[in-house]
Structure 1
Amino acid sequence: MNENRKKNNFNDSIKFESFKVIMKKIIFTLIILNFFISSGQSKKIQNLDFLMKSANEIGIFNGNIIVSQNGKIMYQNELGYTDYSKGKKLNRESTMPIGSITKEFNSTGILFLAEKGKLNLEDKVSTYLTYLPSWASKIQIKHLLQYTSGLPRIFKNTDSEYLSELNNVEKLEFEPGTGYIYSNANVFLQQEIIKKITNLSYEDFLKTKFFKKLKISGGKIPKDSTLTVNMAGSFDNDFKETTFIHGGGEMYFSITDLYNWVSNLQNKKIVNKNSINILAKSFDKNSESSLGNTIIENNKVVEHSHQGSGNNYESNVYYESKNKTIIVLITNNQNFKLSAITESILNILADKPFTIPKKSIYLDIRGKLLDNFQNGISFYEQIKSSQKEKYDFSSEFEDLINTGKYLMRRKRFEDAIKVFELSTTIDLKNSTGISSSYSFIGECYDKMKKSDLAIIYLKKALDFDAKNKNAEEMLKRIENK
């Protein structure tokens, strides 16, 4: 019996020692695994930092950023200045307007009220807003969410301006639900319905129902075109102030505010899954939803991206469901590169090669051409000959066309013609593009009341592309005067 007991103790001892060896191996493996995971994560953070600092040094990003995965912020930074004077650096509390992304607030507000039983998406607009013309009895609230109301393009700054414009609309562009027009009239009417149902101002509704709960401290609007503490001013690439160049009235938010909004929305803490799917639904693949651009698979939003801009401010949010990735970027020096930066960030997160976006030709030459045309042309020629590593010449033709249109809008028709002429030399095989350039030249001459020259260039446009409908219609109109 003693011998059996000794044998059992011996066997137990061996088992224990074996268990210790196995546990040591497991712990060692976990340590090694954790090391490689940490190394990989550290490399990603290094690459993110390199990308963003390079973007700032090149001059395509002056702003704030947050990148998170699975609910944890892995990279956050503030790069650049609060205004054109370069006197103060951006910080995490710096706030900026976020453009069209604010439209997510009103549309989510509508779904929030629907969940509470305060309205039905099939309700007619006239049920709540009785002061509008008869077309309001045709439009359902759901049409406002998808920009399918049939209301024309209306973009104003004040409530009174919107009401005046809407009361002048005699009929809709199409039957509600049958077409798509991206018009802020839809947004304004959503806000008006929210105000009517809740008996609150729109700003108070957002603060009491959303912002306080979500720890969003922003939402303030500058008074009398005066920025208050933490509000960043905007500027162009020549460091000229542009904060209120096209008016004001926008709410200002910090990078943390915007991150909290996207995170809580996608985690179903504001409205439920069904409501989010309704918000994500667009009229067709070429139109935007209330959440901007979305991808829905198996009745689930797997991707959500939304861009907003105005007065040289720009913002971009991105969410994907697999790794719960959130990327938020805000800038007070718009360079139209936030989407490209987001794409590079996604490549870094996926351990793929990434590129640093280059500067836009259009944004850097338009102001210089406006101030002094010849100096602007000299600058363009200089960067083309010696700074191709810094500037994006892959879209040179499109940038010149946009520059010409920019000059046209400011009635600098002779200068615009010179830029359009220059664009015809970029790619001699691009007959469609050359036709477009000549069409714009014809339009310039038409606006200058030089019909003979307009006809010459419009015919030239049709020689390069007989299917240029714009040139064809303009030519008919001018010849039939």
Structure 2
Amino acid sequence: MKKYATASLLFSFFIITVTVFGQSKAVTIDTMIHRTNRLGLFSGNILVVDGGKVVYRNAMGFTDASKTEKLTDQYRFHIGSIAKEFNAVGIMMLQEQGKLNIDDKLSKFFPELPAWANKVSIKNLLQYTSGIPDVKWKTVKSDADNMADLMKLEQLDFEPGTKYAYNNNNVFMQRRIIEKITGMLFNNFVEEKLLKPAGMSTAVIDPDDNKPLMAKSYTNAGKQGPLVYPITGWVAVTLDDFYKWEQALENFKLISPASTKILVAPFGLDNQCGLGGGSMAGNKLVFHKHDGSSVYYQALVVGSPLKGRTVILMTNNRQNNIFDIDNAIQNILDGKPYGQPKHSILADFQKQLDTLSGPGVLAFYRDLKGKHPNDYGFENEVTLNEIGYFLMNAKKLDAAIMVFEYNTTLFPTSSNVFDSLGEAYFNKGDKAKALLNYKRSLKLDATNGAAKAIIAELEK
């Protein structure tokens, strides 16, 4: 009970931006954030809690593309994939009540689906290993449209439980299962069984243009994105409610440690799971990290319960740099030097990069570095790695490998770049080169547990 009393006390201090606690760190964070904002690299709301106390809280930027009204900390944001935590927690809640088992197959709840539903389990949905293709975003206009597409689906993309493919049909079916079992609309279930017990009084689900205090996403060019999405069930939150949700997870207010452990267990290394990513030690959640993007929104929550630390970032003007901002904040809190977030090449030039071959990408990178050496993060490996992963996710493996290879020549002492190169070769099916580069990564960083695990698997 003391934990929640502390949380209540914490929120009484939210009316001010900087608390007396850790004032020098708060000033440093404030300086970094305002500089980032002046560079046009962050518009949104931010909360930093450390040692169980608010260190920093701020709202900066504008509510929409018109840039006529400034954000306040009472505005709600879409949080993209982080909203998928609500259906995942709902599924585990129903398992604890004995109303389902995550090994149950889809056909148990939807016998009208084609034969492939006999092979897909709820656990497959939670781990994105179902083999169900993604939502047809260009044609689907409603939940009914999407279910109709699934009724016509003849075969899966792969055998359930054999591969990982992150997509929203896994989420869609979790929400439909919850409706089937409870007899409630998914949105009503979330409101009654999740938001209210967590004390989230300002969160809304599937907001439209008439909903007040809703930040609307927009691009640097002034294009405003939609609020309503083809499939339903998307929760939008304020800073206060986002923090309350994170505390509910960390303190097992909604589901047990055993259920939480399932939701932080991915199918494979670097794969997403029900709560994004995290780790547990016994019955304690020791780390939780989840990011989400939707149209031009982006959000990130990083929880380190043993430190009493939570960092929440929400933006309605996505610049693909929230990890850089979080890294800077974490370093400041830990008393370490930090890097000032800079422009993202991928955010500024994604369409152009998508048209280039591997050599073309490298030529573009070198040219940009020569002309704008101080505007982008050329001083570390992250910039090229980000481009490499963009290419790899676009199935341009040869181009990605070329980018990662070049990155190893620029940053030969970085374990991270060799790890990324190993992953690219692994995805291409070249196990020998994957093994070689994972070993190089491990030699540079003996604490790289992920590399150790993959090496062990490759050497079997």
Larger displacement relative to structure 2 (127-136 or 173-182) = 173-182
Distance verdict in 2 for CA 1:239–1:273, change over 3 Å = same
- Residues 445-460 of structure 1: pairs in structure 2 closer than 5 A: none
Shift of 1:277: 0.4
Aligned residue among 143, 153, 156 for 2:124? 143
Structure 2: how far apart are the matches of 1:82 and 1:382? 35
Shift of 1:43: 1.2
Please give the per-residue CA displacement for 1:196-222, whole angstroms capped at 9, x wherever unaligned: 111111110000111122232222323
Tell me the equivalent position of 2:15.
none
Q: Is 2:137 the partner of 1:153?
A: no
Aligned residue among 288, 303, 319 for 2:287? 303
Tell me the equivalent position of 1:181.
165
**Contact 2:74-2:213 at 8 Å conserved across structures:** yes
Q: Is 2:97 the partner of 1:112?
A: no
Q: Is 2:328 the partner of 1:344?
A: yes
Shift of 1:283: 0.6
Distance verdict in 2 for CA 1:120–1:469, change over 3 Å = closer
Tell me the equivalent position of 1:218.
203
Tell me the equivalent position of 2:39.
58
Does the residue aligned with 2:307 lie in a helix, a strand or coil? Answer: coil
Distance verdict in 2 for CA 1:430–1:468, change over 3 Å = farther
Shift of 1:347: 0.8
**Contact 2:207-2:227 at 8 Å conserved across structures:** no
Tell me the equivalent position of 2:214.
231
Structure 1: how far apart are the matches of 2:368 and 2:78? 32
Does the residue aligned with 1:91 lie in a helix, a strand or coil? Answer: coil
Structure 2: how far apart are the matches of 1:182 and 1:405? 14
Structure 2: how far apart are the matches of 1:209 and 1:174? 34
**Contact 1:155-1:185 at 8 Å conserved across structures:** no
**Contact 1:95-1:254 at 8 Å conserved across structures:** yes
Aligned residue among 43, 52, 62 for 1:81? 62
Structure 1: how far apart are the matches of 2:103 and 2:293? 31
Structure 2: how far apart are the matches of 1:207 and 1:106? 12
Distance verdict in 2 for CA 1:431–1:55, change over 3 Å = closer
Tell me the equivalent position of 1:290.
274
Tell me the equivalent position of 1:353.
337
Shift of 1:284: 1.2
Tell me the equivalent position of 2:247.
263
Distance verdict in 2 for CA 1:192–1:384, change over 3 Å = same
TM-score, with structure 1 as normaliser: 0.69
Shift of 1:234: 1.2
Tell me the equivalent position of 1:240.
223
Larger displacement relative to structure 2 (114-123 or 337-346) = 114-123
Tell me the equivalent position of 1:48.
29
**Contact 2:288-2:303 at 8 Å conserved across structures:** yes
Distance verdict in 2 for CA 1:303–1:252, change over 3 Å = same
Gaps of 5+ in 1: 1-37, 371-378, 409-419, 434-465, 471-481
**Contact 1:263-1:326 at 8 Å conserved across structures:** no
Distance verdict in 2 for CA 1:241–1:39, change over 3 Å = closer
Gaps of 5+ in 2: 1-18, 355-363, 410-424, 430-460
Please give the per-residue CA displacement for 1:31-86, whole angstroms capped at 9, x wherever unaligned: xxxxxxx9982111111111211111111110001111343322111011111221
**Contact 2:23-2:55 at 8 Å conserved across structures:** no
Please give the per-residue CA displacement for 1:239-270, whole angstroms capped at 9, x wherever unaligned: 33234698686442212221111111111111
Structure 2: how far apart are the matches of 1:365 and 1:205? 41
Structure 2: how far apart are the matches of 1:64 and 1:177? 38
Structure 1: how far apart are the matches of 2:306 and 2:68? 42
Q: Is 2:72 the partner of 1:103?
A: no
Q: Which has the higher helix share?
A: 1
Does the residue aligned with 1:213 lie in a helix, a strand or coil? Answer: coil
Shift of 1:112: 0.8
Q: Is 2:374 the partner of 1:389?
A: yes
Structure 2: how far apart are the matches of 1:143 and 1:123? 10
Structure 1: how far apart are the matches of 2:220 and 2:230? 20
Does the residue aligned with 1:322 lie in a helix, a strand or coil? Answer: helix
Does the residue aligned with 1:154 lie in a helix, a strand or coil? Answer: coil
Does the residue aligned with 1:329 lie in a helix, a strand or coil? Answer: strand
Shift of 1:299: 5.7
Quick one: which amino acid aligns to residue 362 of structure 1? L
TM-score, with structure 2 as normaliser: 0.72
Distance verdict in 2 for CA 1:115–1:469, change over 3 Å = closer
Aligned residue among 32, 38, 48 for 1:67? 48
Q: Quote the sequence identity (%).
A: 35
Shift of 1:326: 0.9
**Contact 2:32-2:340 at 8 Å conserved across structures:** yes
Q: Is 2:318 the partner of 1:334?
A: yes
